[in-house]
Amino acid sequence: MSEVKLEDIVSLCKRRGFIYQGSEVYGGLAGTWDYGPLGVELKRNIIHLWWKTFVQDRDDMYGVDAAILMNQKVWQASGHATGFNDPMVECKNCKARLRQDHVEKDKCPVCGTVGKFSEPRQFNMMFKTNVGPVEDDSSLSYLRPETAQGIFTNYKNVLDSFYPDLPFGMAQIGKAFRNEISPRDFVFRSREFGQMEIEYFINPDDWKPEFEKWVKEIHEFLDKLGLPKNMVHELEVPEADRAHYSERTIDFEFDYPHKRDELLGLAYRTDFDLGNIAKATGKNMEYRPKDGSKPFVPHVIEPSFGIERAVMAVLVSAYKEDEVEGEKRSYLALPEHLAPVKVAVSPLLKNKPELVKKAHEVYKTLKKEFGNVMYDDNGNIGKRYRRQDEIGTPHCVTIDFDTLEDGTVTLRNRDTTKQNRIKIADLISAITN
Ligand code: GAP
């Protein structure tokens, strides 16, 4: 388990504008979260890194962005309409409804009563809705519980438009929705969350080596997120616990503050989904090898990342506490490519127009170069450094009276707190390196 406390992460996220409770001003809506100005930048940086790594930097990937609402037949064919269930029990004392496997020692976590639960019943986690003005069975639809089906339903379109060679992958980033019985542990178990998914289409003969390649690529990506290797663990999921479509699953677990828990999944989905589409629609899902050999329905390896779980793992990995000049400091040692703000620029004193003017000049130059640069003149310089440390800003630039004399500024490093005098003309390269 992580040594970082969940309450420290939650409190930092709220205080500094990373993540807020959804609909908070109206009393909240359980299992929903809103990203504030810094959280949205952090999340976008993670998403961008994923898309660049797995789509843009490769020749075998095709991105899609499918509709969230899909024909109800998708969910009948995929097995979700009948099988996407969690076992639910009700406390006979306080009527709380709980996921059976979340109940410990037969004790109700809400009222504390022991041993007074109803028999478990299966609860389907899909959010239902109706499409169009008539509310009947024919207009029934669902908010998608996984982005994957929007990939499978477009497999044939991509095959027909791009004639890819096998193996090739299709990738999608988007929202997924699950009516979790008990959302909990901050954003870890939410009812609305983001997924970054790949369906990688392969020749079934190659599934074992292809699976192993993905294990390696996932570890490389988690390195880029700055997760310490010793906090990431592979769990070979036993057959009884695997999703209905999977013949092999590895859960990549992370040492979260609440416990070691699933960060992402890697599944061998076989031809389960394409086979179901072929059966349900009568359409041919076969791939025709260009060498004229026998057509076949490809099998699928699926790496499935949860965005919120990645955000939380990044925050937990980056959260540090130390002592600076006799005072306790907490800071986020985020990898530079994920930090919401790369550089903060401050005048030493905000009531000296000549310092303010120069600080604005430097700010504009850096903003043009890096984009995510913040002008910060709130409070005294010590407070600004602490605030920037807490939000994970790797570099702080301070303009003082010497700047006006000799054109140098103070460049401060977040992790070491060391300060260097440096010429304005050298700032961009010092920050880039
Ligand atoms: N398409 C495969 C699939 O959806 P999953 O294991 O059910 O597989 C994949 O979900 C990932 O989505 C999980 O590893 C996790 O990162 C994320 N995820 C699932 N349920 C979640 C929830 N309630 N809140 C936040 N993330 C969730």
Look up the CATH number of the domain holding residue 65.
Answer: 3.30.930.10
Pairing of strands 319-324, 327-332: antiparallel
**pLDDT for res 244:** 86
Distances (CA, A) of 163 to 60, 153, 171: 11, 16, 16
Do 237 and 152 share a structural domain?
yes
Predicted local distance difference test score (pLDDT) of residue 3: 87
pLDDT over 70 for what percent of the chain? 100
Residue 360: inside a domain, yes or no?
Answer: yes
Shared-domain flag, residues 23 and 47: yes
Residue 2 scores a pLDDT above 80: no
**Among 348, 342, 358, CA closest to 410:** 348
Is the pLDDT at 1 greater than 70, yes or no?
no
Mutate to test the pocket of ligand 1, among 152, 196, 262 (most ligand atoms within 8 A of CB): 262
Alpha helices in 195-254 (DSSP H): 207-224
Same structural domain for residues 367 and 239?
no
264 C-beta closer than 6 A to ligand 1: yes
Domain containing 417 — which CATH number? 3.40.50.800
User: In whole angstroms, what is the distance from residue 84 CA to residue 122 CA?
Assistant: 9
Is the minimum distance from the CB of 146 to ligand 1 under 6 angstroms?
yes
Residue 63 domain flag: yes
Decide if 80 is inside a domain. no
pLDDT the model gives residue 102: 85
Asked whether the predicted pLDDT for residue 392 surpasses 80, the reply is: yes
- The answer to the question of residue 235 being in a domain is yes
Residue ranges making up the domain that contains 350 = 341-432
Tell me the pLDDT band of 83, cut-offs 50, 70 and 90. confident
pLDDT digits (tens, 9 = 90+) for 307-363: 999 999 999 999 999 998 898 999 999 999 999 999 999 999 999 999 999 999 999
Q: Is residue 281 located within the same domain as residue 400?
A: no
| 3 state SS of 320 | strand
Q: What is the residue with the minimal CA distance to atom 12 of ligand 1?
A: 306
Same domain, 427 and 299: no
Enter the tokens of residue 294.
């026998």
Q: Is position 99 within any domain?
A: yes
Residues 179, 104, single domain; the answer is no
pLDDT at 410: 97
CB 351 within 8 A of CB 377: no
Residue 86 contacts by C-beta under 8 Å, 6 or more apart in sequence?
Answer: 99, 100, 101, 122, 123, 125, 180, 181
Specify the pLDDT at position 53.
Answer: 98
Instruction: Tell me, yes or no, whether 203 and 103 share the same domain.
Output: no
Whether residues 399 and 416 fall in one domain: yes
Same domain, 105 and 187: no
Residue 145, φ and ψ in degrees, nearest 5: -90, -10
Mean pLDDT, to the nearest integer, of 57-82? Answer: 96
Q: How many CB atoms lie within 10 A of CB 424?
A: 18
Q: What is the pLDDT of residues 153-179, one digit of tens each?
A: 999 999 999 999 999 999 999 999 999
For residues 222, 227, 228 and 229, what is the CA-based torsion angle, rounded to 10 degrees? -20
Where do the H-state alpha helices sit in 105-177?
A: 148-152, 155-162
- Rounded distance between C-alpha atoms, residue 74 and residue 150, angstroms: 9
Cβ(376)–Cβ(344) below 8 Å: yes
Distance CA 248, CA 215 (A): 12
Q: Does the C-beta of 269 come closer than 6 Å to ligand 1?
A: no
CB 345 within 8 A of CB 366: yes
- Asked whether residue 404 is domain-assigned, the answer is yes
Full-model pTM? 0.95
User: For residue range 97-154, what is the model confidence (pLDDT) as tens digits?
Assistant: 999 988 988 999 889 999 999 999 998 999 999 999 999 999 999 999 999 999 999 9
Q: Name the DSSP letter for residue 173.
A: E
Is 433's pLDDT higher than 70? no
The answer to whether residues 400 and 350 belong to one domain is yes
Q: Is the CB of 190 under 6 A from ligand 1?
A: yes
Ligand 1, atom nearest to 304 Cα: 9
Any domain includes 331: no
178 lines ligand 1 (CB under 6 A): yes
Is the pLDDT score of 304 beyond 80? yes
- Cβ neighbors of 305 (< 8 A, separation 6 or more) are 50, 195, 196, 197, 263, 264
Give the pLDDT score at 399. Answer: 97
Please check whether residues 108 and 256 belong to one and the same domain. Answer: no
Within this chain, do residues 119 and 141 fall inside the same structural domain, yes or no? no
Number of domains in the chain: 3
Q: Is 327 part of a structural domain of the chain?
A: no
Output the CA 264–ligand 1 centroid distance in Å. Answer: 7
The mean pLDDT value for 197-217 works out to 98
